[in-house]
Each structure stands twice: as structure tokens, then as C-alpha cells.
Amino acid sequence: MTSEASGEATTTSEAAARTADLGDRGGADPDIKRRKLHVLEQMANRGIFFFTAALVLIAALFIDGFASLENITDVFHRAAPIGIVAVGMTFVVISANYLDLSVVAQVATAAVVLIGVSNNSNIPMAIGLALLIALAYGIVNGVAVGVFKANAVIVTLSTTFIGLGLLRWASGGSIYFGPSDGPIRSFGTTEIGPFPLSMIVLVVIAIGLHFLLNRTTFGFLLKSYGSNRNATRLAGVNTALVVVGAFLISALGSTIGGFVLAAFSNTAVSAMSSGFDFEALAAIIVGGTSVFGGKGSVLRTLLGVVFVSVLTNIMVLSGLGFGYQQMAIGALIAAAVSVDALARRAAGK
């Protein structure tokens, strides 16, 4: 809200705040603690711009094979599904409900439904079915957390198990292969310059969600709820609806992410999305959305996705195996969460 509104009314207090800002940066008083606070806040808020730029630069300079068109396109192909999941899940994180673990089950379900059910002939029906399943996930997760006040981690862990169990039962655990041509295949392979279609879908969704978060009453209530759910309830807000909304958006993101993943890999299997939960979370909090809730940005999540994807790509190119990649994601989450917590502490909150 701050950034959007800043161009409007110019008040004396604003002018004061601007000079204050300048004073802080150009101040003659060399105080370590204050600078530390400043740096931490920067890292928690805007740091992702610099980190991502630096990482890309380092990769381009020192990693063989990174700066090729082929590789960049591949990075985007892999980033898009996780990105779509992450921008949706950002809403759950902002609501101060930690994360939505069930994205793992949802992505796989959407992929299997798209490829397995459509059989390349009835795509609209497959999409419709997958969206209905997303609706069910959003409502079940949202009602359990928003109405019954259950812990989101436990709830979504349960729905992950139920969902994956159902999926394995329904699919018999088999792998579905998509046909070698048709709309799904061509969606998965179309590229405009280095950008696959899926990346453009991600950007469009992110811009839409950015608008939803920053310009609409729903986004406002979500942040308010994430900041203090009690005060928000006592202001007469239907908080259950807000929570259900957050989980619905997360479910929608996971489902579209599942479509995109299936189209790219042209296969679908219930195990294909393992790790999506934490990779999405890493992108979200590296992007500066606070795990304490109430604050966050969809567009910075987008940058977080690029950061995480480039990091993974660097490790792949350097011949570091999956184990190293997992460790890196884990370390990244731990580091980002610590910076978030430290910034709050340093700010005296």
C-alpha cells in the first residue's frame, strides 16, 4: 500500500520522511548497530533484486554452459511450474499460516488428470475436473484452518497424504505419457525467444495476483489478518473467508503449475512434484515475504523463483547431485528465515 500510494498526496510528513531517509543513509554518525539493522531490513525487503542479479552475473561469468540460450530456456522451463505454485502459495504465507504443503499432491493430481484423463481428446473436461479438485483442496484446507483454527502445517500435511493416496489409488501408480503432438505438447514446447509459453503464463498470473494483493479489499484483508488476526476479527471481518480465499489461490496456482509441468515433461506420475513445497517456500521467503505473516510481495516471489532456479541450475551444471541441491534449498530457507527474524529483532519488535 505504501509504494502505490506514495505518488498521490504529498504532505509535509512525507517530505519529512524523505529527508529522514536521506539522513539515515548519508548520516555522518558511523553506528554499527544502526547500519546492521539497515542492512538486515534491506536484505529482508529489497535484497532479492541484488542477490538475483549477482547470482546471474556470477553464473554467467564463471559457470560453463550457463549463458547459452539453450540453458536459459531450460531454466525457465523448470522455473515456471514452481513459480506458479509459489506465487499462489505466497498468499498462504502472508496469512501467517506458514505454508501449504499440499501443493505437492495438488501439482501431481493436476498433471495426472490433464494427461491421464484427457487422453489428448477431452482437454476441457480434464481441466474442469482438475479445477474442481483444486476447489475441494482450497475449501478443505481453508475451512480446517480458518473455521476450525487448526494448524495449517498439520492440516496441509494431512491433505497431502490423503491426496497422494487417492491419486495413487486412482492411477494405480502408473506413469502417463502424453501423445507426441496435440495442444498439450505444443503448449509445452512453444518458445518465444528464450521464453517458453509457460514463463509468460507465470508472469501474467503474477501480475494478476500482485494486483489482487495490493489493490483489492481481499488482499488488504489478507495482510491485515496475517498481521493480527484477532484485531481483524474484532473489526468485523469474516476471517474464515479470508483464509479460504488464501488456500483457494494456492490451490489454483498448484493446479495450473501442474498443467504446465505436465505439458513440459509430457508425462505425469504421482511422484513428479516431490520437493515443490519447499522449493516454492524457498522462493517465497528469499523474496522477502515474512513467515510471520502480514507482509509480502508476489513480484518478489517471482524474483525468488529465478534465484532458486538459477542456483539449482548452477549446481546441475557444476555436476553437483540432487543431494547437494536439497541441502542448498534447506540452507537457503534457514538463512532467509533467520534474516527475517533478525530484522524484526533489530527493529525492536
Partner 1 sequence: MDVVDESDALPEDPSRTGDAIIEARGIVKRFGGAVAVDSVSMAVPPGEIHGLVGENGAGKSTLMRVLAGILSPDRGAVVVDGEELKAGDTRAALEAGIALVHQELSLVEEMTVAENILLGSTPTRAGLIKTGELKRIAAEALDEIGVSVDLDEPIGRLSVALRQFVEIARAVARKPRVLILDEPTATLTPTETDYLLDMLQRLSRRGLAIIYISHRIPEIFRICDRVTVLRDGRHVDTAAISDTRPQDLVDQMVGRQLALDLQTHRVPAEPGAVVLQARGIRAPGVDGVDLEVRAGEIVGLGGLVGAGRTELVRAIIGADLRSAGEVTVAAGGRTRRVAGIRAAVAGGLAYVPEERRTDGLALTMTVAENVALPNRGRLSRSGVLLFRKIADFALGLARTVGLRPPEIRREVGDFSGGNQQKVVLAKWLGRRPDVVVLDEPTRGVDVGAKVEIHRLVKDLADGGAAVLMVSSDLPELLELSDVIHILRDGRIVGTLTAEEADEKLVMSLASGEATVAA
Q: Is 267 in the site for partner 1 (CB under 8 A)?
A: no
Q: Is 4 in the site for partner 1 (CB under 8 A)?
A: yes
Q: Which of 107, 77, 155 is nearest to 277 (CA)?
A: 107
Q: Is 233 in the site for partner 1 (CB under 8 A)?
A: yes
Q: CA 304, CA 71: separation in Å to the nearest integer?
A: 19
Which residue type is seen at 105? A
Q: CA 315, CA 280: separation in Å to the nearest integer?
A: 18
Contact string 288-327 vs ligand ATP (x = CB under 6 A): ----------------------------------------
Please list every residue from 164 through 223 that binds partner 1, using CB under 8 A: 215-218, 220-221, 223
In angstroms, give the least distance from the CB of 3 to ligand ATP. 19
Q: CA 52, CA 42: separation in Å to the nearest integer?
A: 14
Are 209 and 62 spatial neighbours (Cβ–Cβ below 8 Å)?
no
In angstroms, give the least distance from the CB of 32 to ligand ATP. 18
Find the part of the chain contacting partner 1 (CB under 8 A) among 17-25, 159-167, 249-257, 298-306.
17-25
Give the one entry of partner 1, ligand ATP, none that residue 46 binds, where binding means its C-beta sits below a cut-off of 5 to 8 angstroms depending on kind. none
Q: Is 13 in the site for ligand ATP (CB under 6 A)?
A: no
Q: CA 58, CA 281: separation in Å to the nearest integer?
A: 24
Distances (CA, A) of 63 to 136, 214, 332: 44, 38, 20
**How many residues lie near ligand ATP (CB under 6 A)?**
2
Which residue type is seen at 210? H
Give the one entry of ligand ATP, partner 1, none that residue 121 binds, where binding means its C-beta sits below a cut-off of 5 to 8 angstroms depending on kind. none
In angstroms, give the least distance from the CB of 119 to ligand ATP. 60
Q: CA 225, CA 237: separation in Å to the nearest integer?
A: 9
Radius of gyration of the chain (CA): 21
Q: CA 19, CA 12: separation in Å to the nearest integer?
A: 11
Contacting positions for ligand ATP (CB under 6 A): 347-348
Contacting positions for partner 1 (CB under 8 A): 1-2, 4-6, 8-9, 11, 13-14, 16-17, 19-24, 27, 29, 31, 33-34, 215-218, 220-221, 223-224, 227-228, 230-238, 292, 294-295, 348-349
